Structure 1
């Protein structure tokens, strides 16, 4: 299995139903590093840029995992991007340190899947809400390999949660990040 870094941005992972279950399901997997930003940094000012950049460099795959908060990622992930993905590291003439790495977005939502479409109560698709992160991945030269979404976390049944866990494990263990395994693809 390729070395995979899961960057978790969940402000209350201990109380999470979906993200905690997903992460618990792979906690003993070799070659997977779970990096919880909220557990690591009490304030965004404390983000250790050199440490974060070293983590990115030593892994072949990067996953950004978070719950959707107000149609975006939690604030710490944006601050992390602003600090860590700097000029000369992630972009610019010498900024190709993460180019070519595979990257995915793993997101949980409170709303059900049908709510993410034109005319539904969220008005837009999930991929439209996640375009800023998608654009960051592409701009830094990483290969975007899709989105895995666990929809409807507020009312998720145990059966649906187990299906999400199974899909998540298959994605992480796959040598070829085959998008056919994805529950949701960016469009």
Structure 2
């Protein structure tokens, strides 16, 4: 028998001629780096959320009377003429979709301030006795002074009763 060389590519694998196989690079460093980055982003998001809740959770403790304005009431309990951000929002339609049974309120937002503004509107859907059946939020952004914006406040709860839509709260902030 003669000793012939095997064809190229048929020989022993690299590193098998008398030493340990080559070391594979691991991904442990990348995993640790991305885990740390994710943890930092989560902490930042929690700090922002806590700050917003602490600032706005007490009814607008930031001192801006235009920012959060609940619907004013007369001594008899009836709504008065709205002022501030609350007065910028009017309900144009209020109905329950016959197919989905979801409530929806069409709103007309008119920016009566002197600056372009963003609006967040809290709408509740109540039955004839005033019991809240559902609620939702909607928003519209960068509404110029004097400009109007039509938005829909869409509820996602199944409702079978006749409803009334009420604006619970309006937040307006400069864009």
TM-score (norm 2): 0.24
TM-score (norm 1): 0.23
State which structure, 1 or 2, has the greater radius of gyration over its C-alpha atoms.
Answer: 2
Query: Which has more strand, going by share of residues?
Result: 2
